[in-house]
Structure 1
Amino acid sequence: MVTNKSPFSMLYQFAGNEDQIAIFSDEQTIQTWLDVEAALARAQGEAGVIDAEDADRIAAACTVDNIDREALWKSAANVGYPIFGLVRQVSQHLPEGPNGRVHYGATTQDIMDSGLALQMSRSLAAMDVQLQRLGDLLAGTATTYRDTVMPGRTHAQQAVPTSFGATIAVTVEELRRQRGRLARAYETVRVVSLFGAGGTDAAQGPRSVEVRARVAELLGLRDTDVPWHVNRDVIAEYGYVCATICGSLAKLARDIVDLSRSEVSEVFEPYNPHRGASSTMPQKVNPISSELIIGMSATASALLSVFTRVQEAGHQRAAGEWQAEWLAVPTMGTLAGSALDEAIIIAGGMRVDPDRMEKNLSADGGLIMAEAQMIQLARYLGREEAHDLLYEASTLAREKGVTLAVALREVAAKAGKTDLLPEKFVSPADYLGEAGHIVDAAVAAWKAMTPLVVVTPGREG
């Protein structure tokens, strides 16, 4: 839970995702607890566990307008948990009779976990909308630059030619996989928790299974016959998906940072006056969205360890691990949502310089074509001898500051193999392999995806 006493960091003041901040806000956190209490009363009223009229009155009283937040948090600090004070405040707005039926047979974690399930599912649903938008933008970029040749780089050095479309396509495919993970996590976290003090739901009486199923239906959650309140893989899955989404975006951001270096200058973030400006160096246009994403991903990566630690909760109730979630879950959701915001900004206004990409293919004497020319010669010399010949030519090209073609002719002449050299060496545009197919496949797979099916509460919810 996020309270007014736990403000977001400076980062969130100018880059925090509004949807995630709202979902995990003070008001919405309290409202989810009240929604669960109201659903519990209604389900119990329908099952005859409590009087139906009392149930209606309880549900009507479960509104944030009836909650004094300052008093609630003061009580929570003393009790250690917020539901004790919440129930007392709701009860104060009810007459004698129904005031004794609020929270009937439930325990604190029943309410908080079911409320958290609502928040996590809403959080993931909001992220799926962002992923859809981001993927659509990048799929369009990949298509636009399907055949735009650029240097491929391995170990930070030029390797073989590729296309910018293929470079973006692999990110599109990664986002597609992330949407699949998110959809699975959505179903995992969308689960009711209502098993009472020790996990047997004894206090609910003989109608417990029926009541729990109805509560789940009213809230739009999945029912379960097995408690999960001390088996926090449900929470861990949420954390994992958020962290890996941040990681996927950090890969994109790192590429943008590297490609926008002055020495490379192939791809840049969107531009507007003073975006990425320096307080002292007038020429600077820093890749600020990429930097934010990388920073958020680093934080999410470190925070992920909390989600595996909370799985240590022992026996039938955690003794400390549960409390770690109260900060970790909303922070992780907001990190992922905020990183997606910044990635959408990048994708929506990315500036690409195809001419610079073409020019950079000639950097280092055009040695990026060494493999291509090795493959050309391998049909006559065999791969190993061709490799040795190109290795020697590459070394000579660097030593003399000449092109690879010039150096190769000199090396071939020395070895008496000039007659094996082709009249025309293969060009970067002719050595793209499956780049075009990669773009087509990634874009087609992305377009074939269906949006997340968001489950809404029952009609009475």
Structure 2
Amino acid sequence: MSDLAVLEARDGANTLRAITRMQPALDFQAGDRLAGWRRPLEQLRDRLPDLRHQTEILQFGGAVGNLQALGADAETVASTVARKLGLRWPGYGWHSARGPLVHYAGWLCELSGALGKIGQDIALMALRGESDIHLSGGGASSAMPHKHNPIAAERLVALARFAATQISAMHQAQIHEMERSGAAWMLEWMVLPQICEATGAGLVAASGLLQSIQRLGTPS
């Protein structure tokens, strides 16, 4: 968020042509477009406390999910384990109810998508030329030396689209048979790490991309 704040302070008053339905619309301030990038990130940040409450929970169910081997001590043992791990004990095992991890993956994909929107906008602004944006770095073309390819912006789009394709697999992994599934767990842990990695890579790429912007819009 600090990278966006720097851009808003420096270039927020510059003029940009708004684009609606892929066609030039009206002039507005660069700060208006930056606000469209910033607000989804702020909303995701504001939802973090709820996300933590919904996902930082102890999974402790025993052989078939009901802690029967612990008898009357089950609640005491579970609460103690949760406290020592810094987690919340929901009062039951959730071997076959994967909603918390689906919720977590959804938040990550929403973050990745918000970053991908920034990348898509910057790639299109680079296409429109330096009246919209001036970037440092990027990629040269061996065949067309006049080109300045917005590689970091493209990376954000690719990562966001990759993460978006994975979330459907998380919903597939939500379908557990009976009290515990082996296949669904395998699928879940094939997919969730990739969503985490794509979102983390997107955060790094977005920070570098925003810092590479030399000018946004045209000074009034």
Q: Place the TM-score, normalised by the shorter chain, in its bin.
A: over 0.9
Distance across 2 between alignment mates of 1:342 and 1:268? 17
2:124 is aligned with 1:258: yes
Deviation, structure 1 residue 291: 0.9
Deviation, structure 1 residue 283: 3.0
Per-residue CA deviations over 1:324-347 (Å, capped at 9, x if unaligned) read 011111110010010011000012
Alignment of 1:30-109 (within 5 A): none
Distance across 2 between alignment mates of 1:194 and 1:319? 16
Distance across 2 between alignment mates of 1:311 and 1:231? 7
Give 4+ residue runs of structure 1 displaced > 6 Å after superposition. none
**Contact 1:144–1:165 at 8 Å: present in 2 too?**
no
**Contact 2:3–2:211 at 8 Å: present in 1 too?**
yes
Distance across 2 between alignment mates of 1:279 and 1:196? 61
Secondary structure at the aligned position of 1:320 is classed as helix
168 and 284 in structure 1: CA distance in 2 versus 1, 3 angstrom threshold? same
Aligned to 2:208: 345
Deviation, structure 1 residue 289: 0.9
2:86 is aligned with 1:220: yes
Distance across 1 between alignment mates of 2:6 and 2:124? 22
2:147 is aligned with 1:281: no
Per-residue CA deviations over 1:173-212 (Å, capped at 9, x if unaligned) read 1110111233322222111111111111011232121111
TM-score (norm 1): 0.46
Aligned to 1:101: none
Secondary structure at the aligned position of 2:28 is classed as strand
Distance across 2 between alignment mates of 1:265 and 1:254? 17
Q: Give 1 or 2: higher helix fraction.
A: 1
Distance across 1 between alignment mates of 2:131 and 2:120? 14
Aligned to 1:305: 168
Alignment of 1:229-268 (within 5 A): 229-261=95-127, 263=129, 265-268=131-134
Aligned to 1:178: 44
Secondary structure at the aligned position of 2:19 is classed as strand
Structure 2 stretches lacking a partner, 5+ long: none
Secondary structure at the aligned position of 2:97 is classed as coil
2:199 is aligned with 1:199: no
Distance across 1 between alignment mates of 2:183 and 2:136? 45
Secondary structure at the aligned position of 1:284 is classed as coil
Distance across 2 between alignment mates of 1:229 and 1:218? 21
Deviation, structure 1 residue 262: 5.3
2:143 partner letter: T
2:37 partner letter: T
**Contact 1:151–1:162 at 8 Å: present in 2 too?**
yes
2:188 is aligned with 1:325: yes
Distance across 1 between alignment mates of 2:217 and 2:130? 12
Distance across 1 between alignment mates of 2:80 and 2:136? 50
Q: Give 1 or 2: higher strand fraction.
A: 2
Distance across 2 between alignment mates of 1:152 and 1:265? 12
155 and 262 in structure 1: CA distance in 2 versus 1, 3 angstrom threshold? closer
**Contact 1:181–1:241 at 8 Å: present in 2 too?**
no
Higher relative contact order (CA 8 A, sep 6+): 2
Distance across 2 between alignment mates of 1:276 and 1:152? 26
* Percent of residue pairs identical: 25
Deviation, structure 1 residue 269: 3.5
Count of aligned positions: 220
Distance across 2 between alignment mates of 1:268 and 1:244? 28
Distance across 2 between alignment mates of 1:257 and 1:160? 20
**Contact 1:268–1:351 at 8 Å: present in 2 too?**
yes
Per-residue CA deviations over 1:102-153 (Å, capped at 9, x if unaligned) read xxxxxxxxxxxxxxxxxxxxxxxxxxxxxxxxx1210221232232121111
2:179 is aligned with 1:316: yes
Secondary structure at the aligned position of 1:210 is classed as helix
**Contact 1:175–1:248 at 8 Å: present in 2 too?**
yes
Distance across 1 between alignment mates of 2:154 and 2:48? 24
